[in-house]
Structure 1
Amino acid sequence: MSLVNIALSGLNANRVALEITAQNVANVNTAGYSRQQAVHAAIGSGTYDRLSPGSGVEVTSIRRVTEQFLVKQTWLTNSLAGYASSYTNSMSQLENTLSADGFSISAGLDTLFTSLNDATVKPESIPYRQQIINESEALSHRFHTLSQSLHHQHKDISDQQNAAILHANSLMSNIADTNKQIAEMQGTGGNPAQLLDARDALIGELAQVLEVRTTDQPDGTLQVTLASGQPLVIGTEAAKLKAIPDPADPYMADLQVEFGKQNFAISHAVGGKLGALVDYQHDVLKPNQRALDDMAQSLADEFNHILATGKDLNANTGKSLFQYDPTNPAASLSITDIQPEELAFSEDGTPGNSGVLSHLIELSNKAVSVTGYGSLSLNDAFTAMVGQTAIKARQATADFDAKTIMNKQAIAARDNVSAVNSDEEAANLMVFINAHNANMKVISKANELFDSVLQLV
Structure 2
Amino acid sequence: MASLINIGMSGLNASQGALATVGNNIANANTSGYSRQQIVQGSGASQQVGGVFIGTGTTLADVRRVYNSYLDAQLQTTTSLNGDAQAYLDQIGTVDKLLSDKNTGVSAALSSFFSSLQTSAAAPGDMSARQLLLTSAQTLSNRFNSISSQLSQQNEGINSQLDTLTSMVNQHTATIASLNKQIAQATTAGNTPNNLLDARNEAVRTLNELVGVTVQEHDNVYDITLGTGQTLVQGSTSNTLSAVPGQVDKSQFSIQINYQQSSSDVTSVLSGGKIGGLLRYRDDVLAPAINDLGRTAIVVADAINKQLGQGLDANGEFGSSMFNSINSEKAITQRSLAATGNSAGSSNLNVSISDSSQLTAYDYKVTFTSATEYTVQRSDGQDAKGPFKLGDKQVIDGFTLQLLSLIHI
* Fold equivalence (TM over 0.5): yes
By how many angstroms is 1:106 displaced? 2.2
Residues 1:106 and 1:368: Cα distance change in structure 2 (over 3 Å): farther
Measured after TM superposition, the shift of residue 49 of structure 1 is: 4.2
1:31 corresponding residue in structure 2? 32
Q: For structure 1, which runs of at least 5 residues remain unmatched after alignment?
A: 330-365, 374-457
| Higher relative contact order (Cα pairs below 8 Å, separated by 6+ residues) | 1
CA distance in 2, matches of 1:302, 1:201: 58
Q: Shift of the alpha carbon at 1:307?
A: 2.3
**1-structure distance, mates of 2:216, 2:90:** 33
Which residue of structure 2 lines up, in the alignment, with residue 113 of structure 1? 114
Q: 1:243 touches 1:254 (CA, 8 Å); kept in 2? A: yes
Q: 3-state DSSP class of the match of 1:224?
A: strand
Quote the residue 2:404 is aligned against: none
SS in 2 for 1:319: coil
SS in 1 for 2:320: coil
Give 1:371 deviation, angstroms.
2.9
Determine the structure 2 residue equivalent to 1:326.
Answer: 331
Identity of aligned residues (%): 33
Cα distance between partner residues in 2 of 1:63 and 1:260: 38
Offset at 1:73?
A: 0.9
Relative to the length of structure 2, the TM-score reads 0.76
1:259 and 1:242 map into 2 onto residues whose CA distance is 11
2:229 pairs with 1:224: no
Secondary structure in structure 2 of the residue aligned to 1:13: helix
CA contact (8 A) 1:308 1:318 kept: yes
Question: Which residue of 1 is the match for residue 80 of structure 2?
Answer: 79
Quick one: structure 1 residues 295 and 312, their matched pair in 2 at CA, closer, same or farther if it must change by over 3 Å?
Answer: same
Q: For each residue in 1:198-223, what CA deviation from the matched residue of structure 2 results, as whole angstroms up to 9, or x when unmatched?
A: 111111111111111111121x2211
Q: 1:231: how far off?
A: 1.0
Structure 2 counterpart SS, 1:28: coil
Q: Secondary structure at the match of 1:318?
A: coil
**Shift of residue 278, structure 1, vs aligned partner:** 0.3
TM alignment of 1:95-174, pairs within 5 A: 95-174=96-175
Partner secondary structure for residue 182 of structure 2: helix
Q: Give the 5 Å matches for 1:36-75.
A: 36-45=37-46, 47=48, 49-75=50-76
One-letter code aligned to 1:223: D
SS in 1 for 2:63: strand
Q: 1:91 to 1:300 in 2, by over 3 A?
A: same
Residues in 2 aligned to 1:109 and 1:17: alpha-carbon distance in whole angstroms:
74
C-alpha distance in 2, partners of 1:370/1:289?
A: 14
Maintained 8 Å contact 1:308/1:317: yes
| 1:247/1:367 CA distance change after superposition, 3 Å | closer
Q: Once the 2 structures are TM-superposed, how far is the Cα of residue 248 of structure 1 from its aligned partner?
A: 5.3
Residue 242 (structure 1) aligns with: 242
CA distance in 2, matches of 1:240, 1:121: 66
Residue 357 of structure 2 is aligned to residue 368 of structure 1: yes
Deviations 1:36-78 (A, max 9, x none): 1221111342648433222322222221111111111111100
Distance 1:73 1:49, change over 3 A: farther
Give the Cα separation in 1 of the matches to 2:223 and 2:6.
Answer: 45
Alignment pair present for 1:193 and 2:182: no
**Residues of 2 paired with 1:201 and 1:328: CA distance?**
51
Number of the residue aligned with 1:298: 299
Report how many aligned residue pairs link the two structures.
337
Given that 1:102 and 1:142 are in contact with CA atoms closer than 8 Å, whether structure 2 keeps it comes out as no
One-letter amino acid of the counterpart of residue 22, structure 1:
G
- Tell me if structure 2 keeps the 8 A contact 1:103–1:143: no
Higher helix share: 1
Does 11-20 or 278-287 show the bigger shift? 11-20
SS of the residue corresponding to residue 81 of structure 2 reads helix
Residue aligned with 1:159, SS: helix
Q: Give the letter for the 1:172 counterpart.
A: T
Partner residue in 2 for 1:361: none
The answer as to 2:246 corresponding to 1:257 is no
Distance 1:278 1:131, change over 3 A: same
Task: Indicate conservation of the 8 Å contact 1:183/1:221, yes or no.
Answer: yes
Please, what is the CA RMSD of the aligned residues? 2.5
8 Å contact kept, 2:241–2:258? yes
- The answer to whether the 8 Å contact 1:78/1:272 transfers is yes
Write the distance in 1 (CA, Å) between the matches of 2:265 and 2:112: 49
Whether contact under 8 Å (2:226, 2:270) holds in the other structure is no
CA distance in 2, matches of 1:286, 1:120: 37
Q: What amino acid is the match of 1:228? A: T
Structure 2: unaligned runs, 5 residues or longer: 335-354, 363-409
Decide which structure has the larger Cα Rg and report it.
1
Aligned residue for 1:256, secondary structure, equals strand
